[in-house]
Amino acid sequence: MRGLERVGIALLAVVLVVGSTAYHGWPTTFLGNVFTALLLASGLTLVCWRTHPRAVALGGGGFLLLATLLNGYGWFPDICFAIMAVLALVAALGWSGAAAWGAAAGFAAYLLILELILRSTSDIPLIMFTVPSFLAGTVLRLRREAADQLARRSEELEEERELFTELAVRHERSRIAAELHDIVGHAISVMVIQAAAGQRLVDQDPVQADQVFAGIAESARQGHDDLQRLVELLGGSEVSGPDLSLIDEVVTRAARGGLDVSCRFEGDRDGLAAPTAHIAFRVVQESLTNALRYAPGAAVRVLVNGSDRSLTVTVENGQATHDHPRLSGTGHGLIGLRERVQALGGQLTAGPVPGGGWQVKATLPDGRIRSTTTRRT
């Protein structure tokens, strides 16, 4: 299509200049032929108006200006004002931004020079064929720039959408991995430790060994129930929101499994937001799992305080009194837990305490909806 366009422009320029000049009489002087050649060169430059608009505006305008200086040596076809009109259009399209103002000033100066050369013999055609074309070219350029800007913005928005989608997928995967770590890690840790204890008691105290193995079965069932609840959540099913009663359950199961653990609640524990209660439960669960792994036989104390518009969960254990079981963690439990606490707007600290124990402390916003009253005076 571009090739046909260029051929058409070239043929049109030849018809306008050469055809009309030949019809009215070809010039017989050298300068007359130069004059006609300059007019033709000005028209032929329009062949490259799409790819090199600035060069076409400058080159075509220059050829036309030189032809105007020699206009007394040949016949100046009035139809060549069409070439001026197209050149004015190309000049408006060639520059953008601040340079467009310079192009407009240069165009005005160019018209003034043409008018002085022609000596006011073609003022009306000159203005009629150039000024409206330049204005039309300016409007087209502004529309093109607006369309290009919208296209770039659309591409940026698409890139941002893809980035946000990728981040959302990563966040969801991280959340699922953290939930699986909490569920599976805790259940397996309890079962492994209880299985080891059961192996030691199976010959010495069969009755207590049966209780230990019953605890293993209960831990497995609880792990299965937690996984089922996670699957339902991921599948979009409605699941009742968690509350702090889950902490009582996990502490009770850990105590039945042989862990020396106690739990105390202080302050208000009702009306907590579900995300806060869920994270509080995970803090206790992860802390008990780590106590089972790294401090077997140590006493564990859990304190849940729901005062001061926040919920503070503190889990502290003493030194291990038995040998460590051959059960190592992934190293990501506390890291993932800290990220989830911070995402909720809270803080989590974990580290040793005097006497050789370990403490995990999480401070969470309680998420309660509080009504405000206005006092009238």
* Residue 376 counted as domain residue: no
Q: Tell me the residue type at 375.
A: R
Q: What is the pLDDT of residues 246-271, one digit of tens each?
A: 888 888 878 876 788 999 998 877 77
Q: What is the pLDDT of residues 64-121, one digit of tens each?
A: 889 888 877 766 667 678 888 899 999 999 888 889 899 899 989 988 888 888 775 5
* Residue 21 counted as domain residue: yes
* Residue 300 counted as domain residue: yes
pTM: 0.52
Residue 128 pLDDT: 83
Whether the per-residue pLDDT at 46 is higher than 60: the answer is: yes
247 and 360 in a common domain: yes
* Residue 291 counted as domain residue: yes
The answer to whether the beta carbons of residues 298 and 338 sit under 8 Å apart is: no
* Residue 373 counted as domain residue: no
309 and 261 in a common domain: yes
- Which range has highest mean pLDDT (150-159, 233-242, 329-338)? 150-159
What is the arithmetic mean of pLDDT over 165-170? 84
Residue 372 pLDDT: 43
For residue 158, the SS3 value is: helix
Task: Give the CATH number for residue 184.
Answer: 3.30.565.10
Band of the pLDDT at 373, cuts 50, 70, 90?
Answer: very low
In degrees, to the nearest 5, what angle opens at C-alpha 198 toward C-alphas 197 and 203?
115
339 and 193 in a common domain: yes
Residue range(s) defining the domain that contains residue 12: 2-121
Band of the pLDDT at 376, cuts 50, 70, 90?
Answer: very low
Order the strands of the 300-306 sheet from edge to edge. Answer: 261-267, 300-306, 310-317, 357-365, 347-353
169 and 32 in a common domain: no
327 and 207 in a common domain: yes
* Residue 145 counted as domain residue: no
* Closest to 54 measured CA to CA, from 124, 1, 106, 119: 106
State the Rg of the chain over Cα.
Answer: 43
| More confident position, 27 or 109 | 109
* Closest to 264 measured CA to CA, from 248, 282, 285: 248
What is the arithmetic mean of pLDDT over 148-171? 88
217 and 88 in a common domain: no
- DSSP 8-state class, residue 240: P
313 and 219 in a common domain: yes
171 and 33 in a common domain: no
Whether the per-residue pLDDT at 122 is higher than 70: the answer is: no
Q: What is the pLDDT of residues 196-214, one digit of tens each?
A: 666 666 777 777 677 767 7
pLDDT averaged over every residue in the chain: 80
Residue 180 pLDDT: 72
Reading the block at residue 232, the tokens are: 């339902």
332 and 192 in a common domain: yes
Whether the per-residue pLDDT at 31 is higher than 60: the answer is: yes
Residue 375 pLDDT: 37
The tally of domains found in the chain comes to 2
Band of the pLDDT at 171, cuts 50, 70, 90?
Answer: confident
Whether the per-residue pLDDT at 234 is higher than 80: the answer is: no
Residue 302 pLDDT: 94
DSSP H/E element including 316? strand 310-317
Q: Which of 121, 151, 185 is the last residue of a domain?
A: 121
- Report the Cα–Cα distance between both ends of the chain, in Å, rounded: 82
89 and 10 in a common domain: yes
| More confident position, 76 or 359 | 359
Q: Which of 121, 142, 175 is the last residue of a domain?
A: 121
